[in-house]
Amino acid sequence: MNTFVIEEFFVSDENQCNFYTVRFDDSTISETDKFYDDFFIEGQEFEEDIRIIDALIFEISKIGTKIIRRTQDEARALALPPELLTKESYIEILGNKLRLYYIQLAENVIVLLGGGIAHENQTGNPPIQFQEAQTFSKKILEVNNVLFKVAGGRLTSIGDEEIIIN
């Protein structure tokens, strides 16, 4: 995997949860923006699915991650939409065919990792984006408190201005 940068995606002092994303160092567009560019197309097959994920990101930013229910231990990289939401959320997530992968670094900090169609092939195996998300997650966890720290709902670089991970 190439060198990548963690950058802001949806960060605000008013948010209960702030969102960051990853961008390959040699790219001008983040993995999350690529996901949006691929699927947020009016009239396209996945338009409603991505609108649900977008609404969920907004809702989590305002309410916090407490609306996500996990029924089992999962891999490092998690997926939006999750299996279950609490009753505090009014977003209907059943049947969503898209997954936007993320790692939760703190109750109020999420790094979005990119995504795709949940089960694109006939074998039922997860998409390549899930495997890439696992690699992103592993590398991010390895440098937590080395290259960056999580404090006050934000990621702060230790040293350089950018959080660059090899």
pTM score, two decimals?
Answer: 0.90
On the question of pLDDT at 72 being above 60, the answer is no
Domain boundaries, the chain: 4-165
Confidence band for 116, pLDDT divided at 50, 70 and 90: very high
pLDDT score at 142? 94
pLDDT score at 86? 60
Q: Could you report the per-residue pLDDT of 28-61, keeping only the tens digit for each?
A: 999 999 999 999 988 889 999 999 999 999 999 9
Average pLDDT taken over every residue of the chain: 88
- Residue 6, classed as helix, strand or coil, is strand
* Cβ(25)–Cβ(7) below 8 Å: no
Which is more confident, 11 or 2?
11
On the question of pLDDT at 103 being above 60, the answer is yes
